[in-house]
Structure 1
């Protein structure tokens, strides 16, 4: 595959990346406000999707070391798994919020400010990371490895931060779940 073919392959995904990068946060925001009537709250989901966030973080770190050790196949499989973990997390997160009221953080003092800093940065970066993950993935599957490496250097720490802070947010708010 020559350089021009790689660029063409990358570009054919651009519209889908833009659509998903806009549609996913909008859909989550809309669904976050929707309540399904007469449905038992899915209160068992937060520890499960927090665990999935933790698993995603572990997978990302293992995938990082796999590629550093030139184990491309393992890296590819782990990254695909990390993407699917993120999709499953998102489905569970939305399902929980469609059946349950949001839990308010009850801590006080400096912990309250730390919690909200982590929560807000987590939410903002979880939106920002969507196009980064998609672009990084597309560059990998189109074999545009040099561009993939460049953006992966940005995507990896952002995605890892989102995964880890998702667990931290859960741990900090878990005492306040009803």
Structure 2
């Protein structure tokens, strides 16, 4: 009964965060601090940092799966907490960048343009979908419902890995169009 209580306790937070995070990010994406009288320099140094954090997240996720397959639950737990921390850090930097700098437009042509937009669109949609999946997966581990945790982790892992890897790819594809 106690484990159901843990899940029930967090269900409202999962719903709230799964809705609030994408909405707040979308709103803040359009907010420019200079429009409110803040004299802040554009944080143009952030994109390569948050792209690297996406890469680190991907490495952490793969390492966490290897750890649990080798029976090392403590290492798995630590790596997953680090992956969540990296995702939160990415999100904070991403929003900070977009609140201080104009969005960069992709300048490629031909088939690469379509590849870029396919990757970008799937990355954006899946980055929204991954929020509740990560939270549910994490809460099931907290509740020691490891059978349910494993079941949803098999869905969460490849989507989260895709989001992390495509975050790096999107940055690499758009990086030539950043103005220094």
Give TM-score scaled by structure 2 length: 0.96
Query: What does the per-residue CA deviation read over 1:101-123, in whole Å, with 9 as the maximum and x for residues that have no partner?
Result: 00000000000000000000000
Output the CA distance in 2 between the equivalents of 1:134 and 1:41: 32
1:157 Cα deviation after fit: 0.2
Unaligned runs of at least 5 residues, structure 2? none
1:130-169 equivalent positions in 2, closer than 5 A: 130-169=131-170
1:109 corresponding residue in structure 2: 110
Query: What does the per-residue CA deviation read over 1:68-118, in whole Å, with 9 as the maximum and x for residues that have no partner?
Result: 000000000000000000000000000000000000000000000000000
Output the CA distance in 1 between the equivalents of 2:40 and 2:10: 38
Query: What does the per-residue CA deviation read over 1:6-32, in whole Å, with 9 as the maximum and x for residues that have no partner?
Result: 222211110000000000000000000
Output the CA distance in 1 between the equivalents of 2:96 and 2:155: 30
Output the CA distance in 2 between the equivalents of 1:26 and 1:123: 13
2:27 corresponding residue in structure 1: 30
1:70 corresponding residue in structure 2: 71
Unaligned runs of at least 5 residues, structure 1? none
1:52-71 equivalent positions in 2, closer than 5 A: 52-71=53-72
2:5 corresponding residue in structure 1: 8
Output the CA distance in 1 between the equivalents of 2:110 and 2:92: 33
Output the CA distance in 2 between the equivalents of 1:131 and 1:9: 16
Output the CA distance in 1 between the equivalents of 2:2 and 2:45: 48
2:124 corresponding residue in structure 1: 123
Report runs of 4+ in structure 1 exceeding 2 Å deviation: none
1:86-101 equivalent positions in 2, closer than 5 A: 86-101=87-102
Output the CA distance in 2 between the equivalents of 1:104 and 1:60: 30
Cα RMSD between the aligned structures?
0.6
Output the CA distance in 1 between the equivalents of 2:167 and 2:82: 18
Corresponding residue pairs, total? 175
Give TM-score scaled by structure 1 length: 0.97
1:162 Cα deviation after fit: 0.1
